[in-house]
Amino acid sequence: MAEMKKYPTPMLDVLEDGPWPSFISGIKSLRDDHPDERIRNVNNSLLGQLEHSYETRMGYWKGGTISVFGYGGGIIPRFSEVGDKFPASREFHTLRVQPPAGNYYTTDMLRQLSDSWEKWGSGLQTFHGQTGNIMFIGSDSASYQHFFDEINEYGWDLGGAGPCVRTGMSCVGAARCEMSNTNEQAVHRHLLNNFTDDVHRPALPYKFKFKVSGCPNDCMNAIERSDFAVIGTWRDHKKIDQDAWKAYVEEKGRDHVMDNVISRCTSKSLSLGDDNSLIADETNCVRSMHCMNVVPKAIHPGDDKGVTILMGGKRTLKIGDLMGTVIVPFMKLDTEEDYEKIVEMAEEVIDYWAENGLEHERCGEMIERIGLVNFLEGVGIDPDPNMIKQPRNSSYVRTDGWDDAAEEWFNRMREQKMAS
């Protein structure tokens, strides 16, 4: 390897102290050990600029507008304001690449991506971050189109960046998780495939995210981090294997079970029988999943499975954090027609938000501004008492008009039952 003058990094070195892995160690590994001289120089220059930023307490990256041919997003441009001091990293763009649904990879797929990135980029990459994308960090303006062309040839595409439909995320799902209540990857692909044009050509008020979790554990954090959250659930009683439950009680003891399962049920809907059986008040169960997570051998989701759809979740922007509001309390997803319905619903929501949302306003912020009733009317969804922001609190039905609203809802349910 050719000799290279390394930038001193005393402040960055401190970040390698402690028990946890450090990103600085990863960049140093690329600087010190990679066989490609270009990649060693790029990462050396990057470390020099980072150290300079720590010394001056200022950031030196500035943005711009770049993309691959035909696309309007998917790349985060970074141009260095101190490129004269650190020339090898004067351009350090990040490409967002969509992962497979459920984040299922083969080692061959990962090797192929890594080889392409080492050919055209810095060698620095991360999986998957808050955006859900594979982040390829550190390409110059002469190389990013070549990298995209190469990975696109064998099946990969850029993710979303800017005011557009963003990269979707789905949990590992039924292939590896016994709590799954729907086909997470099918939901993911139906939604994202339908909105591919909205991913690549930003034309919305701001970002719009789809996330799919197969059960109320919500491993994708969909309820808090997505505008359109699909959560797998069930509407019959959960299944209890009393023999397996009693074996658990026998093994752990009644005190342990009371302290760690029964008393921690968020809705206080569980009790322990004198014969060590589990007694469940299903009318009060709010699907906290705690009992199933602790005793998965004995307690399982019910058989009548489907999804709940929540809308409006987001982190802090114009207003504080918002959890998603239940818009569809329960929906079956068994047939192709069911998937078409959920795609049509997403189209209605995005079209309405695109027309009525303010610039840089998330869907949930628009709902807060115009009110849930107006939003429901705009997207053609009938109000339902089960539209809630959190258990025991209805965001639509006001208590001062409860009787009229309840009567209207029961009449509508009666008409639907007679029609079927």
Mean pLDDT of 332-336: 93
Q: Are residues 177 and 269 in the same domain?
A: no
Encode pLDDT of 136-159 as tens digits.
999 999 999 999 999 999 999 999
Enclosing domain of residue 66: 1-161
Pairing of strands 228-234, 210-213: parallel
Question: Between 397 and 128, where is the model more confident?
Answer: 128
Q: Give the position of tokens 């850029």.
A: 158
Specify the DSSP element, H or E, that contains 407.
Answer: helix 402-419
Pick the last residue of a domain from 127, 161, 195.
161
Can you give the pLDDT at residue 393? 52
Residue 375 lies in a domain: yes
Can you give the pLDDT at residue 174? 87
Q: What is the DSSP letter of 175?
A: G
Rounded CA separation 116/103 (Å): 19
Residue 343 — φ and ψ, nearest 5°? -70, -45
Question: Between 404 and 7, where is the model more confident?
Answer: 7
> In sequence order, which ranges of 121-241 are alpha helices (DSSP H)?
144-153, 184-194, 196-200, 222-225
As given in the structure block, the two tokens for residue 406 are: 């309840």
Pick the last residue of a domain from 117, 136, 161.
161
Amino acid residing at 408: E
Pick the last residue of a domain from 278, 300, 322.
300
Q: Are residues 138 and 27 in the same domain?
A: yes
Q: What is the DSSP letter of 314?
A: B
Q: Are residues 94 and 11 in the same domain?
A: yes
Q: Are residues 288 and 308 in the same domain?
A: no
CATH number at residue 253: 3.30.70.20
Can you give the pLDDT at residue 400? 64
Q: List Cβ<8 Å contacts ≥24 apart for 90-94.
A: 90/45, 90/140, 91/139, 91/140, 91/141, 92/46, 92/61, 92/122, 92/137, 92/138, 92/139, 92/140, 93/66, 93/138, 93/139, 93/140, 93/141, 93/144, 94/135, 94/136, 94/137, 94/138, 94/139
Residue 401 lies in a domain: no
Mean pLDDT of 179-195: 93
Can you give the pLDDT at residue 390? 60
Mean pLDDT of 176-195: 93
Can you give the pLDDT at residue 358? 93
Q: Are residues 315 and 353 in the same domain?
A: yes
Can you give the pLDDT at residue 398? 52
Q: Are residues 374 and 229 in the same domain?
A: yes
Residue 406 lies in a domain: no
Residue 420 lies in a domain: no
Residue 398 lies in a domain: no
Please check the confidence at residue 355 and state whether its pLDDT lies above 70. yes
Please check the confidence at residue 220 and state whether its pLDDT lies above 60. yes
Q: Are residues 338 and 210 in the same domain?
A: yes
Can you give the pLDDT at residue 61? 95
Encode pLDDT of 356-415 as tens digits.
999 999 999 999 999 988 999 999 998 887 777 665 555 554 566 667 777 888 888 888
Amino acid residing at 226: S
Can you give the pLDDT at residue 246? 96
Encode pLDDT of 249-305 as tens digits.
999 999 999 999 999 998 899 999 999 999 999 988 989 999 999 999 999 999 999
Q: Are residues 179 and 210 in the same domain?
A: yes
Q: Domain total for the chain? A: 3
Can you give the pLDDT at residue 392? 52
Q: Are residues 280 and 268 in the same domain?
A: yes
Q: Are residues 187 and 51 in the same domain?
A: no
As given in the structure block, the two tokens for residue 136 are: 């390829």
Residue 405 lies in a domain: no
Rounded CA separation 417/240 (Å): 30
